[in-house]
Structure 1
Amino acid sequence: MALTGAVLGAALGLGGCMSGGDNDVDVLALAAETDPPDVLYNQGLANLEGGRLGEAAKKFQAIDRQHPYSEWARKALIMQAFASYRGGDYEEATTAAKRYISLYPNSEDAAYAEYIIGLSHFRQIPDVTRDQKQAAYTATAMRALMERFPDTAYAEDAKGKLRIARDQLAGKEMLVGRYYLERRDYLAAINRFKNVVDVYPDTRQVEEALARLTEAYYAMGLIREAQASASVLGQNYPDSPWYRDSYALLKGHGLEPQAGASDSWFAAATKKITGAS
């Protein structure tokens, strides 16, 4: 691997501590005005190794600003993204990484830049009760990484984080669906639960979504739909506690799970879940 990749490999082993010496950043930036790019770059690396992440980012920024479009600027830009990410400045990390991809889409570090974008959003995903735009951004970035660079060393981790982000998005849909269900707004609840199955069939939320559909449909008096929902759940998750609950609900009223028509939403849902597993 070329110089940048080797430096990144070493940098990944550094601790995640925040810079404690940012009071000197402005002075350093002014002093750097007369430094050549290789000196600035090595100073940036030294700051990285010393855990002075803010100072490191400033050094790499100075190269990009003073020597734009040079080879040193290319190397410095990806390192700036890395230093900003490790320093917890996720907005700056994302901005630098996106700029890198825009300027150098086919370079050896383009995959790493995409990875930094995904990681920066991933670190900002809040609990499921709050807005999940960061989870959506994470999913978009990690999917882009896997599609553009399927053989990169970061692809496997990106796959795992994509799964977590999607489960978070599905969890938010379930939260809203349960809210409607508790208030007996069954149609709104059903739409949310069906969306989980349609859009996130590979997440752990699907089992509960199908059980809640059974519950909501039965509450509305839509017996065939309730039976079909329970049937999809039983076919795909026969050992699930959610299926036991749905089965007990129907059995308690003299009913059994029953598959829906072959051209119904329930048949399509079964195919989606099977294909996702």
Structure 2
Amino acid sequence: MVARRRKLAPVTSLKYALVLLLSLAIIGCAGNDETPEIAADTGEQQIYDQAQRYLRASNWDLAVRGLQTLESRYPFGRYAEQAQLEIIYAHYQGFEHEAAVEAADRFIRLHPQHPNVDYAYYMKGLAAYSSNDDLLARFLPTDEAERDMTSAKEAFAEFAQLVSRYPDSPYSADAKARMVHLRNLLARHEIIVANYYFRRGAYLAAANRGRYVVENFQRTPAVADGLAVMAQGYILMGMDDLARDTIEVLAMNYPEHPNIDDQGEFKSVYTLDGLQRNWINKATFGLFFPPTPPQFDSRDG
């Protein structure tokens, strides 16, 4: 007796179809990434020209392989140092940021007096600057200040080294602009952490974060929020004198801050006059719509 063949459910069929398409795509990509064999007798100029064609075609993987072949076969040739610089660029464009940093470090170590070593420093900072960008971040709007700041700190240090060592470099102006952005980002991150501490009830830790911004990130937009964080933390800890002094500084320097009213007084869920509850919360004896932890972010939008 021949067994009757069962029909696949539509969902199962779709799943198998998707798996098949994905497999074909992977096979296709793998086929495209195969490295053409470079004959042993291929000349230096030919290898370099081929690598340049890969660069112009944005085929970063093949460009890296070609440039590495060039360097290994002709380590003292006329294109060896240029190949090392272009390997940094190809890694960076291919989103291989750690490899770009390593390649830049290698170039700086081998050629500390090279006329283009400033480019290696710049690309090292740029790679660190971009290393925290993931696939979702490139397509979905995310708050950059909420991410881990390790890469931002590394990038700031690299750009600072470039500006300090090579102030006349053509890359210094862009490095300075990126340093301003990174400094603002690091300061904003501290405010986000302070807001987290408020939600956890860690008022001293929150106040310390605000003070850190005020003391270490002067002339950044986050300073005003840093003062507001300090004032709120002092209020919640019962340090009214410190709170009044901080509010006075905030009102004097940032009168338009959303936590300062027209009379220069502090506006928040918790003020020097105590907890500010809405009428529903009062009428229900605190059962409904309890006050939310204070949060500070005066950025537009």
Specify the TM-score bucket, using the shorter chain as the normaliser.
0.7 to 0.9
Greater Rg over alpha carbons, structure: 2
SS at match of 2:219: coil
Write the mapping of 1:57-72 to structure 2, written as runs, cut at 5 A.
57-72=64-79
* Corresponding letter in the other structure for 1:185: A
In structure 2, the partner of 1:156 is 173
1:69-148 alignment runs, 5 A limit = 69-125=76-132, 127-148=144-165
How large is the Cα RMSD of the aligned pairs?
2.7
Deviation by residue 1:72-106 (Cα, 9 ceiling, x = unmatched): 21111001111121122212211111111111122
1:112 maps to a residue whose letter is: Y
Q: How many Å separate the matches in 2 of 1:32 and 1:216?
A: 70
2:236 maps to what in 1?
Answer: 219
Question: Cα distance, 1:249 vs. partner?
Answer: 2.2
Query: How far apart in 2 are the matches of 1:212 and 1:245?
Result: 19
AA aligned to 1:124 is S
Relative distance call for 1:27 and 1:212 in structure 2 (3 A) is closer
Amino acid at match of 2:56: E
Q: Distance in 2 between matches of 1:245 and 1:108?
A: 58
SS of equivalent residue, structure 2 residue 109: helix
Matched residue type, 2:233: A
Aligned partners of 2:208 and 2:230 also within 8 Å: no
Q: Is the 8 A contact 1:174 1:205 kept in 2?
A: yes
Q: 1:21 to 1:104 in 2, by over 3 A?
A: farther
| Contact 1:230-1:246 within 8 A present in 2 as well | no
2:152 is paired with a residue whose SS is helix
Q: CA 1:121 to 1:242, structure 2 compared with 1: closer, same or farther past 3 Å?
A: farther
Identity %: 29
Pairing 1:236–2:243 present: no
Change (3 A) 1:138 1:101: same
Contact 2:122 2:175 in 1 (8 A): yes
CA–CA distance in structure 2, aligned partners of residues 43 and 50 of structure 1? 11
Q: Distance in 1 between matches of 2:205 and 2:211?
A: 10
Query: Matches of 1:171 and 1:246 in 2, distance apart?
Result: 27
1:44 to 40, 45, 51: 51
Q: Deviations over 1:46-71 (max 9, x none)?
A: 22122222211111111222233544
Which residue number in structure 1 is paired with residue 283 of structure 2?
Answer: none
Structure 1 unaligned residues grouped into runs of 5+: 1-19, 255-277
Unaligned segments of structure 2, at least 5 residues: 1-27, 134-143, 274-301
SS in structure 1 opposite 2:125? helix
Counterparts of 2:40 and 2:265 in 1: how far apart (Å)? 74
Q: What letter matches 1:227 in structure 2?
A: R
Q: Compute the displacement of 1:25 (Å).
A: 5.4
| Partner AA of 1:186 in structure 2 | Y
Name the amino acid aligned to 1:96: A
TM-aligned CA distance change 1:61 to 1:130, over 3 Å: same
More helix by share: 1
| TM-score normalized with structure 1 length | 0.75
CA distance in 2, matches of 1:106, 1:198: 38
Give the number of equivalent residue pairs.
234
Give the alignment's TM-score, normalised by structure 2: 0.69
Contact 1:211 1:246 in 2 (8 A): no
CA distance in 2, matches of 1:80, 1:24: 20
Q: Would the alpha carbon gap of residues 234 and 248 (structure 1) be closer, same or farther in structure 2, given more than 3 Å must change? A: closer
